[in-house]
Amino acid sequence: MTGKPPGRFITLDGPGGVGKSTAVGAVARLLAAYGEQVHSTKEPSDLPLGQFIRANADDYDGAALACLVVADRHHHLAQEILPHLRAGVTVVCDRYIASTLVVQSLDGVPQRYLLDLNAGLRMPDLAVILTADPLALAARIAERGATHRFNRDVSFPAREVARYEDVAELLRGMSVPVLVLDTGAASPAAIAEQIASATLGLGNVSTHLGSAPASTQGATPA
């Protein structure tokens, strides 16, 4: 035991091409400049199962892929996220439960099933949802090259944006603080500043040591 208050768990989710990785790095640097201890990470994780998912995402779909993603999340929490939080370190994570509720839902998995898979997991102290115009997202993805089957579907960005709006409301219904930011309406620096400010405003006490509820608590079907 360190005697420190637990760290804050900040997650950044959003459609492909919205700038999550850029924002995670900028937020981590900004919080560190403010004197915070910060650890940045991502999902799928850099642990063996996460690496397997990244290398084989096109070979699995539906419930099979969803189960792999959530299994990696359990291991990621146990091996990386929770130890840092217990040590008083703020963790900034690129993708978390919101991404599963969007991407795997659009991959044909019912929302109730996804909520049940994630039941009992640590919820974020702040869930940031990044969004942007779907046409701008599609252009960014085309420019950098589609890397998996979701991005090869030209209709996917618009469906992702719409679904993230629904998931933001779902998380709010779970009493998770949600911050929605349009990366097309502000500079990366301004986006990072808003996230850092919201993080610092949470105080030193983690408010979501509780777990994700199962589907029986007010979930709606996908």
159-192 pLDDT, tens per residue?
999 999 999 999 999 999 999 999 999 999 999 9
Q: What is the pLDDT of residue 214?
A: 57
Tally Cβ neighbours within 10 Å of residue 219: 20
Q: What is the pLDDT of residue 149?
A: 77
Query: Taking the model in full, what pTM does it have?
Result: 0.90
Q: Mean pLDDT in the chain?
A: 91
Give the range among 2-16, 33-47, 179-193 with minimum mean pLDDT: 2-16
Tally Cβ neighbours within 10 Å of residue 59: 9
With bands split at pLDDT 50, 70 and 90, how would you rate the model's confidence at 210?
A: very low
Q: What is the pLDDT of residue 154?
A: 83
Q: What is the pLDDT of residue 216?
A: 39
The residue-averaged pLDDT of 148-158 equals 83
Q: What is the pLDDT of residue 152?
A: 76
Give the span between the Cα atoms of 167 and 100, in whole angstroms: 10
Q: Which CATH class is domain 9-200?
A: alpha beta
Give the span between the Cα atoms of 69 and 96, in whole angstroms: 10
Give the span between the Cα atoms of 152 and 132, in whole angstroms: 18
Between 152 and 93, where is the model more confident?
93
Q: What is the pLDDT of residue 142?
A: 87
The residue-averaged pLDDT of 25-43 equals 98
With bands split at pLDDT 50, 70 and 90, how would you rate the model's confidence at 146?
A: low
The residue-averaged pLDDT of 190-201 equals 97
Give the span between the Cα atoms of 196 and 29, in whole angstroms: 10
pLDDT, tens digit (0-9, with 9 covering 90-100), for 49-79: 999 999 999 999 999 999 999 999 999 999 9
Q: What is the pLDDT of residue 212?
A: 57
pLDDT more than 90, % of the chain: 81
